[in-house]
Amino acid sequence: MHHTTSMQVVWAVAEETGADPTSLPPLNHVIDTDALNALFRPASNVGRPGRPDCELRFSYAGQDVLVRGEEITVGGTGPPSDPPAE
């Protein structure tokens, strides 16, 4: 069974912070979870797959969240930032 991207974000942030997922603020107060789930729908889902080439950065529960394809990275605090230009 595949869980939605929005659920995976909540669990990833909970794991990173050591919080219970139910104690975190509702994710839909930060981002449109229907759009998040549609954009990053896995290829194994019925219908059109999501966009594996997309990347989305946002802040949730004091953590930087990066969703890229089916990968979710959590860390740091404050607003997401781009790496310095070389």
Q: Which residues of the chain have pLDDT under 50?
A: 1, 78-86
Q: By residue range, what is the domain housing residue 49?
A: 5-75
69 within 8 A of 78, measured Cβ to Cβ: no
CA distance 12 to 70: 13
Q: Is residue 85 part of a domain?
A: no
Q: Which helix (H) or strand (E) holds 58?
A: strand 55-60
Total structural domains within the chain: 1
What is the reported pLDDT for 70? 79
Per-residue confidence (pLDDT) for residue 80, from 0 to 100: 45
